[in-house]
Structure 1
């Protein structure tokens, strides 16, 4: 993943010094009832190829006739692009599709591209029907020669920087040309980005290869049902996790956060926005009721990976933990319920996803102000609260597993 995503300073990568006293040999001077536990944080999210996808059709009727327009609204960060496809209706098996890996949405400086992007569309021959007779054939998908798709279809992009949402307007401009045609209903998708690459750069077809049933249905009949079902199955929010901070403490108040109140400036914001544990680590070590602060991991925790740390405690001690929902503006996972330090087993059920209230939210994994894309959240000052259902975020148990042994 990008170096500026979820990075921790060198100090944050070293297990925190604790407030336990030590004897001359450096061993902790704890009571005879002291014990040691290992806490493990595992990223169990199932990666999906696409962060968003969907279909589009005309207004009042499915097809988009010459002179008519249709709009698609979607979210994206600077590494992502929009892919779409629709049938060239007046053909046996031609279809329009964006250049792969899709319509470029941001320039090299990370500035959104707006206005006319019609040059990003191409016209393809699916190779499954003879263009004259309509008889079945089996040829590779090839670009249709001598037809400028941009003269038949106008594409216009608009962008909302606060929400990181684009609106693509597709207009049928084929009227009066030698290639006048209606457009069929179509499909679109935005690939998931894992911090270094797109997960799928060619969702609909592979140029110069034989077609597939999904794009064939679009090219021959304008039927998007199969392709839309395939995309739906491969679409979902995913995320990395940051290194996790674990604190051993005494008392009834979780020292990391308090729901219903604003961020106190001790360092939760830095974890929730950038995955940086250093400030909170240092702040917690100065509190009288904190007995130790520990860091699990030293790099982003990708799907399928896990990190762990050991900690020492005594009867009566409690623990709390926090890790960033990496593909967000300012979200974090933390234990919602008080956890006795002597607990063993899976404690995921006591974990919740919170919004720190310090940065304006954007679609998870598709927001240009998210650390994933090297951005900085736009500031807000709201109460710490549970993340709601504005976005289709997987349940806690489908993203993170926390275990004590």
Structure 2
């Protein structure tokens, strides 16, 4: 009897197994279908700088001083609306320096044509206001007698405050622009003072170019300001020809400034990242418009037709539309979106590196698990869409957000190297921060 009952029990247990398994599967399936709410936040956390490029220059010969008949050259990139400023000491003076009037040497005509040739007329002679001027010449004593009261920087036009006479600045210093193409220029500074009544060496100097945003230079007075006291190490150049202090200052003011375009956010399930794939060319579904112009509308409209895509959002920043970087104590732009997601969903984002030709930040590989929480910035990288010829970021004449028209090319999408051919960028997490909560 016991054997029969045990046999029946064994059969009963075996018969129940499918029902137990089905019950567990059904429970897991119901759990998987439970929707949860999360919030994605994208921030521009870039600690921006106002100068796109800067540097120091000096004679490449045995002496760093540029003597009459000698010259020195500066190479740089620039976009329409930007200008080149520089400063170099009138060596045989107490505290005079040559510099273009702010904001600097104009580089493009109003129609966008690069300016070439002699631009010496834009250069002026300035008094730093820290020393009493002696008769200019090899016999000037340095540093000389200090001004009783610090004077503001002023232009020296023919005669200084002490009555000493000077040739026109444009006769003593010849500046020539050469356009190399693709937004690149060479400025040659030639010492032509030997043929004037004011022969003088030129000291090592500094140069700088400001970013321009919405048609306005972020720093229109990068080296000095007329009618204001000297600052930031300009005195070291004007009195001693020492470019190290001002050079270090402007180096700290030089770096990256870029807005981020309205951010595309897509939630999907059961498919690969529908935005793009590295190693492929742009698919023609709207990524080019996002990468070149910051316009996500075309790509968003396309994604809404893709099977497996569940939600698509384009997030503009309040009041500014673009997400501006941090400027001084002012926080960078931020956007957020509430999402409804479930197990198996994935999230991808994309936004333009605003001051580029066709670079964009986007989720790597197949995006991120929608159930993930916390800082997911490590899932984002910077990519080159391969549809526009690259130029120095923030200094390209064909960059759309600098009033340019991109020059077409056709390459595969790749991650932007760092350092790249133009500059060294901060780490991605120091430009864009993405969190899921």
Q: Same fold (TM over 0.5)?
A: yes
Residue 252 of structure 1, CA deviation: 4.9
State the match for 1:150 in structure 2.
170
1:139 aligns with 2:161: no
2:190 pairs with 171, 178, 181, which one? 171
State the match for 1:399 in structure 2.
431
State the match for 1:53 in structure 2.
54
* Structure 1 vs Structure 2 CA RMSD: 1.6
> Which structure carries more relative contact order (alpha carbon 8 Å, separation 6+)?
1
Aligned residues: 375
1:294 aligns with 2:319: no
State the match for 2:120 in structure 1.
118
**For the Cα contact (< 8 Å) 2:75–2:184, is it kept in 1?**
yes
**For the Cα contact (< 8 Å) 1:56–1:186, is it kept in 2?**
yes
Change in Cα spacing, 1:72 to 1:351, as seen in structure 2 (3 Å) is same
Q: Please give the alpha-carbon distance, in whole angstroms, between the structure 2 residues aligned to 1:376 and 1:308.
A: 31
1:254 aligns with 2:273: yes
3-state SS of 1:175 partner: helix
Residue 290 of structure 1, CA deviation: 1.2
1:43 aligns with 2:44: yes
2:66 pairs with 64, 82, 99, which one? 64
3-state SS of 1:362 partner: coil
Q: Please give the alpha-carbon distance, in whole angstroms, between the structure 2 residues aligned to 1:294 and 1:72.
A: 46
State the match for 1:91 in structure 2.
93
- Deviation by residue 1:347-375 (Cα, 9 ceiling, x = unmatched): 00111000111111111111111122111
Residue 36 of structure 1, CA deviation: 2.4
Identify unmatched segments of 5+ residues in structure 1: 1-30
**For the Cα contact (< 8 Å) 1:204–1:214, is it kept in 2?**
no
Q: TM (normalized to structure 2)?
A: 0.83
Structure exhibiting the larger radius of gyration computed from Cα positions: 2
3-state SS of 2:290 partner: helix
Q: Which structure shows the higher helix fraction?
A: 2
Q: Which moved more, 1:189-198 or 1:214-223?
A: 189-198
State the match for 2:251 in structure 1.
232
- Deviation by residue 1:227-278 (Cα, 9 ceiling, x = unmatched): 0010111110111000111111123511101011111111111100001111
Runs of 4 or more, structure 1, over 6 Å off, are none
Residue 112 of structure 1, CA deviation: 1.4
**For the Cα contact (< 8 Å) 2:224–2:231, is it kept in 1?**
yes
**For the Cα contact (< 8 Å) 1:65–1:182, is it kept in 2?**
yes
Q: Please give the alpha-carbon distance, in whole angstroms, between the structure 1 residues aligned to 2:299 and 2:430.
A: 27
**For the Cα contact (< 8 Å) 1:95–1:219, is it kept in 2?**
yes
3-state SS of 1:266 partner: coil
Q: Please give the alpha-carbon distance, in whole angstroms, between the structure 2 residues aligned to 1:212 and 1:395.
A: 32
2:179 pairs with 155, 159, 164, which one? 159
1:342 aligns with 2:371: yes
1:374 aligns with 2:403: yes
Q: Please give the alpha-carbon distance, in whole angstroms, between the structure 2 residues aligned to 1:160 and 1:325.
A: 25
